[in-house]
């Protein structure tokens, strides 16, 4: 059983690093499942948190470095056109003004973590401000996602699949609510602006 747990931690780590580089990888599900399995005693919650936070930090730094070093041409291929240039400029200005908060908070926005890591590298955001913010974001995000699985594991003590399902459902609901609130706030701002 202990050998299986070791593989579970490794799977969580690898999927999360890949998810930072290729956002289509369903890594969040593995972390929620890890939290649910920890609640049922199959994994250690501290090790799930450590694997998750470390992987997220490593993945974010890798994506940043790809864009910072040799990836400028790669990034520019996807950011062609005036609209994308304005968007990159806007994110770069946000990073300059609110760097740490944007970097740490970007982890909680769908596709935000990849976008922030890419643009921070592309804009040559200073590493001395970036790395602590990546670390804080990784820890907070890991506590949140592992916590969802752990909560589900405590609700469904005999069914790890139902526990993981509850954690995933809560994640979708919370993400949907925050996204809808942000959209409403943006519409309200636009409606209040003079024509």
Predicted confidence (pLDDT) per residue in 52-79, tens digit: 999 999 999 998 888 888 766 666 666 6
The list of the chain residues with pLDDT below 70 reads 1-5, 25, 71-85, 87-88, 110-111, 156-195
Please tell me the predicted confidence (pLDDT) of residue 76.
Answer: 66
Residue 94: other Cβ atoms inside 10 A: 16
Please tell me the predicted confidence (pLDDT) of residue 44.
Answer: 93
Residue with tokens 């994994």: 43
Domain that holds residue 12: 2-192
Please tell me the predicted confidence (pLDDT) of residue 195.
Answer: 46
Domain count, the chain: 1
Please tell me the predicted confidence (pLDDT) of residue 177.
Answer: 60
Contact 177, 185 (CB under 8 A): no
Contacts of 126 (CB under 8 A, 6+ apart): none
Please tell me the predicted confidence (pLDDT) of residue 52.
Answer: 95
Contacts of 38 (CB under 8 A, 6+ apart): 44, 45, 48, 146, 149, 150, 153
């Amino acid at each position: 059983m202990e050998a299986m747990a070791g593989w579970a931690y490794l799977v969580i780590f690898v999927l999360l690093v890949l998810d930072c580089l290729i956002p289509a990888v369903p890594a969040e599900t593995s972390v929620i499942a890890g939290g649910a399995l920890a609640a049922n005693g199959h994994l250690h919650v501290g090790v799930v948190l450590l694997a998750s936070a470390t992987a997220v930090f490593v993945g974010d730094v890798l994506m940043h470095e790809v864009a910072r070093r040799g990836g400028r041409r790669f990034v520019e291929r996807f950011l062609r056109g005036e609209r994308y240039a304005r968007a990159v400029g806007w994110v770069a200005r946000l990073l300059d003004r609110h760097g740490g908060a944007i970097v740490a908070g970007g982890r909680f926005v769908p596709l935000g973590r990849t976008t922030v890591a890419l643009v921070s590298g592309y804009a040559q955001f200073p590493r001395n401000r970036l790395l602590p913010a990546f670390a804080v974001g990784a820890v907070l995000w890991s506590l949140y996602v592992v916590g969802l699985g752990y909560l589900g594991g405590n609700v469904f003590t005999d069914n790890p699949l139902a526990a993981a399902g509850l954690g995933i459902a809560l994640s979708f609901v919370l993400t949907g609510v925050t996204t809808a609130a942000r959209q409403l706030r943006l519409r309200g701002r636009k409606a209040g602006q003079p024509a």
